[in-house]
Every structure is written in structure tokens, then in C-alpha cells.
Chains A and B, each alone.
Chain A
Amino acid sequence: MQGLGRPAANRARSCGRHAVGLLMVALSSAGCSDGPAERPAPPDPMPAAFAIREAPVVFTEVGDSLEPAADVEAMIAPYRAQLEDQLAEVLGHAQGGFAKDDPEGTLDNLVADALLEVAREMAAGPVHVSLINEGGLRVPIAAGPIRMRHAYELLPFENFVTVLSLSGTQMERLADEIAAANGEPIAGWTMELDGDDAIEVRVAGEPIDPGGTYRLATVDYLVNGGGTWSVLWEARPEDREDLGILIRDVFVQYLRTHGTVTPELDGRIRDAADPLRPGQQAPTQRERREP
């Protein structure tokens, strides 16, 4: 008698582009023919009532050995043509490559700067600082022309810009959350990371006033419960101003305005223990700290 329907799964054989696993299941008739005394207890709640003779498991890689189906290709073609037409538009030029990094990255800075600048142009009131989640930046930007295609690849999500009014205390808590994430894309404020704590948090070079009010530009995803920064979820309706512009369109508008963008690190977030990197523009608070 076989072991009561227990499957014996052979390990997959890897053969090039295919992996094949063979599963043999033999449902034993022991329980039926040997009488109640030999039946296992407790019974399975839902015995399989059919025999799966074998269940080979295969995946096939979809690669260039497969000729595209002509009808599906023809279906896609007009959409592709329309996309290529629109996505080919050159929005600006990258003087160098932009990439994410911790605690500060050139791509982080580019997007946060764009967010701050465009939010300042569009918001009804002042906008002091910006913040976006680094995870929302999906691809690096290479040196050369920046096309609409890149804007979509970098910022694919349909997230809208929101400006929040935060207290100084909330700003300090938010800075700590940014520190715990080892830095996130910010503009308009600076901080140093001391482990999971943010120190020397400054807005426009000034220390945070716990009793003050600060206006922060970010994306609605982070305010409406997405992401991990609980401070942003505390905003009451009267504390937020929704600008009605997609973060991607902010980036597009910024590039059209500036034409050429240059990757820069300016020490807006840095490890408190790190020396300044060569060529880096020294932030004012750092200068004051230098002996």
C-alpha cells in the first residue's frame, strides 16, 4: 500500500529554459478496503475524491524563440505607435546620471526639488519643504536627453501632490522617521542622521520651531494611508491643500522649465559622522559646526 495519498514529488529537472517537476499522486484504497479498524483517525476533512495520476509542472520562458502572434501584435501596434509618438518628446537634458542613494541621492534631490518648486508655484499659501518616498522613484535617469518615456518610468503611479500644514513637533517626528529610513528625498530642509534620530533639523537654515507651522509638499498616497510615515496620516482635511497635479507632471513641468539638470549632492541629508565629500557644497549649519 502506498502512503495514503501522500505525494511524492520529484525535484525539478532543469533543462535549459524549462524546469519540469513530476508529481505522482496515488490515492490509496487502503482506507476503503481494509475496514474501519485500519482507517486512520482523525479523518481528513476533505479527502480528494479523484486520483490525480500525475501533475507535471512546467514553466516556459517567453522569449524570442516564440514568434509573436500576428493578430495580437496587430492589436498592440496602434497603441504602441501612439505611445512612442508621445513618449519620445524630449523634456530636458541630464548633464549626468541621476540615481537613488542613501542618505542622499542625486535622483532623490532632483524629484524633491521639482516637487518643492512646482508646489510653491501652484499652492495658495507658502510651501516650506518637500518630501516624497524614495520607493516611489522607479528607475534612474541616465545622462542625455530626458524623454517623456523616462518621466513615466520614473514616476509611473497616479499620485497627486498635496501640501500639508504640520506643526514643528510633527516636523521633528517626521524627520526622525526619515532618519529611520536612512534618508528620503527632501528639499527645503536639512538634517543630519544620528542613528535612527534626526539632529540639526533646519528649514531654510533655521532650527525647527516646535510651536511653528510648516507647509510640506508631498504626494497624496503618503497622506491617505500609504507608505509608513504615520505623521502624514494625522492631517485633518483643513490641514491639507490638494494641488490637483500628478507628481509625474510636476517632474515634466520642472524639466520643461529648467531644460538642463545637473546631478548634485548638497549635504541636505547626511550622516552626522561623515565628513563632507569633495566638491560638495557645504551647508551653512555644517560651516558653523566646523572648528
Chain B
Amino acid sequence: MKRRDFVRALGLSGVAGLTAPGSLLGTAPHGRSAAGHGGAPPLPGGGGPATHGGAPPPGGRPHPPLGPLASDSVNLVVLHTNDTHSRMDPFPMDGGRFQGLGGAARRATLIRRIRDANEHVLVLDSGDIFQGTPYFNFFGGELEFRAMTAMGYDVATLGNHDFDNGVDGLVAMLPEAGFEFVSANYDVSASALAGHVKPYVLRDFEGVGVGIFGLGIAFEKLVLASLHEGVVYTDPIAAARATCSELRGLGCSLIICLSHLGYRYGDPARPSDRTLAEAVPEIDLILGGHTHTFLDEAEVFGQGRSGFTLVNQVGWGGMRLGRIDVGFDPAGEASAWAAVDYGIDRRLDAWRAAE
């Protein structure tokens, strides 16, 4: 049996496994899941696992670990940058604080070294790829996107400075970007970015589903209306909640948010990575940007069985490459959970068909 056969709408079945069957199933927008993926047929069932039937018998053991799952695991290396700001070259040796750091060609070496040593690697960016050196002023971001493509970036979100040459300026550079853009709270449907920026993308690593979505900062006082023409900012917390429901419904085992909201603000009402982590615990990794925050370790938010949310940010200018290793192990201590949660579900097939 292939591993991917076991991956399913895990979050929903987990709920079903812990509470009265079906008690929370109504909250998940299954219909949207399919609709969001290019006309795939509606996912079967009301959310319960197809094989294991949701709740284990009260007081009884859940299904035992299944053989193929117990024997091995999937390891994913998540690499990330933010606010690289057109820093193609290392900071000049001018006595400045950051002299000698960064450089896209060196970053490429590092990323490739990690790729060579690991089977499953994601390379992500949290926005503000543009602006900050004459490379952007003269060439409009073309080289930034080309280099990121050569480096093997998978997904990026949009920062406020990525609009510095307007929506048209960004769209004009997209042919150079061999990676995808995500934003769940910028409604691009009425703009030239329509079709180029998705709310989220999905990746499958040996059957482990990973959902990656993006969140962008409010345009007010940051991006002139003429520059984000047609792109509408919506509440990032609400967008994150809706997207997480959808991604869990699609069988994602890991949810990654590429955020350009900023790490934290004095005004607690202003959305930030920290408020996001507290408000939307369904997110596993929040890879942040905008505030150019150097976190020497990820900040951990978490409560209850739903686990944790990691918040990380790696400064700016390509001086650091962040790395988070995630091991998916359906066996071991969590075998009971794994047996239930890695239940076979046809919804995965629907998801895969839609891909």
C-alpha cells in the first residue's frame, strides 16, 4: 500500500476521533475544497474517514499502526527567506554592520547543498523580493526572479514592496519566476494578477500533504492605490481560518503560512505573526517577513492537542536562510493517532486528481 493512500483529511477525522462523531464536521467547507481546485469532483463523504469511520470505539483502542507507516517516515526540510530586497550581491565591504553577508549566488550554493542531502525540500519566500538596490530600479525585478528560479524556490508570497512598480510591473516580471505566488487575503480576481496568485498551493511528499498559503499586509499608508490597482486587501485572520479549514479538508498534514504581516506591533489589534499564531492555531509554520526581524530561534505557540505553531523570520537581505525540519512519523509514540489519522480516504485521490 502506498503511503499516500493513507493521507487524508486528517484534521477532520482527528476531530471525529475525539468527540461525538461528526460534531464539528459541519464547520469544514468541503465543497470549497474541490471548487478551489479546478473543478475536481466534490470530495466524498461528510468528513469522516472513509475506512476507519471517524471515531474509534469509545474506550477501545484505535486502529493499530499500519505496517508501511510504522516502518519509515517522511522528512521534510523547509527553507525560507524574507525581505531579500533585491540584494543580489553580498553587502559591500564598507564597514557597515552587514558587510560581507548575503549574496544570491552563495545562497544558491547553500540551498543546493541542502537539496543534495535531503530528499524532500521546500524553498519558500515571504515577500519583499523587490526594491532596495539598483538591480530593481534598473531591471524591475527580472534578475531577482531569475535567480530565485535558479535557486529552486517553490513558493513565495507578496510583500508591499513587490508592488513598487505597480501590479503591471509585477505581472511583467512573472514570466521570469519559475515558482508560484500565494496570497489568501489579497483578492486579486479583479486585477492583472488574477490567475497568477493563488490563495494556496499543495505539495505531496510521499503521501504527506503540505499546504502553503500566503498573507499580505494592509496596503493603507504602505502601498499607493494606483500601485495595487484591483488588488483588494482582506482580513488576514479570517482568510487564514478559512484557508486552514480548506487545507485540512484537502488532507494536508502540514500547513505553512508565508506571511508578510510583520512579526509584532505595539498595537495588539494590528495583525502580526504573533497575533496570527494565537488566533489561528491550525497553522503549523508561520514564516514571516516585513519587519526584518532576526529571530535566532523560532517562537513556539501552542496549546492543546492541536499541537503548536512555529513563528520564524530571518531578518532581511538574504543574510540568512531559515531551515525547519519536519519529520512525519505515523508510528512510534503517536501510533494510535497515526493509525486513525492516516486512515485511507478517497478524498486524497480527489485532491490528487485536481492537482
Contact = CB atoms under 8 A, between A and B. Distances in A.
Nearest to B253: A50
A224 B226 contact: yes
A164 B307 CA distance: 55
A67 B307 contact: no
B59 interface: yes
Interface residues of A, number: 76
B330 A60 contact: no
Contact of B105 (A68, A156, A221): A68
Interface string B303-315: 1111110101010
B110 A156 contact: no
Given A7-B300, A66-B110, A76-B105, A36 B323 contact: no
B327 A54 contact: yes
Size category of the B interface is: 35 or more
**Interface SS majority for chain B:** mixed
A48 interface: yes
A236 to B, nearest CB: 16
B348 to A, nearest CB: 13
Nearest to B100: A64
B125 interface: no
Contacts, number: 286
B13 interface: yes
Q: Which of A48, A66, A153 has its CB near the most chain B CB atoms (within 10 A)?
A: A48
B221 A52 contact: no
Contacts of B267: none
B191 to A, nearest CB: 18
B24 interface: yes
A46 B18 contact: no
Given A39-B18, A43-B19, A50-B10, A152 B134 contact: yes
B62 to A, nearest CB: 5
Contacts of A273: none
Interface stretch (A24-32, A117-125, A275-283): A24-32
Contact of A71 (B18, B19, B150, B319): B150
Q: Which of B17, B60, B137 has its CB near the most chain A CB atoms (within 10 A)?
A: B137
Contact of B337 (A23, A43, A49, A53): A49
B221 A50 contact: no
B20 to A, nearest CB: 8
A143 interface: no
A182 B243 CA distance: 44
A81 to B, nearest CB: 12
B54 to A, nearest CB: 12
A14 interface: yes
A31 B303 CA distance: 15
Q: Which of B17, B165, B284, B305 has its CB near the most chain A CB atoms (within 10 A)?
A: B305
B135 interface: yes
B105 A5 contact: no
Contacts of A53: 73, 327-329, 332
Contacts of A149: 134
A56 interface: yes
Q: Which of B105, B108, B298 has its CB near the most chain A CB atoms (within 10 A)?
A: B105
Interface in A70-99: 70-73, 75-76, 79-80, 82-83, 86-87
A163 to B, nearest CB: 18
Contact of A75 (B15, B143, B300): B143
A23 B307 CA distance: 11
A57 B298 contact: yes
Interface stretch (A183-191, A204-212, A225-233, A260-268): A225-233
Contacts of A76: 88-89, 104-105, 143, 147
A32 B151 contact: no
B214 interface: no
Interface in B140-170: 143, 146-147, 150-151, 164-165
B297 A57 contact: yes
Contacts of A235: none
Nearest to B7: A50
B256 interface: no
A46 B106 contact: no
A160 to B, nearest CB: 11
Contacts of A36: 58-59
Interface of B: 10-11, 13-15, 17-19, 23-24, 27, 56, 58-62, 73, 88-90, 100-110, 112, 131-139, 143, 146-147, 150-151, 164-165, 208, 220-222, 224-226, 244-245, 248, 253-254, 281-282, 284, 296-298, 300, 302-308, 310, 312, 314, 318-330, 332-338, 340-342
Given A28-B305, A55-B326, 18 more contacts: A2-B333, A6-B304, A23-B308, A27-B333, A29-B336, A31-B18, A32-B18, A33-B61, A35-B58, A39-B18, A47-B11, A49-B340, A50-B254, A51-B328, A57-B322, A72-B147, A79-B138, A156-B131
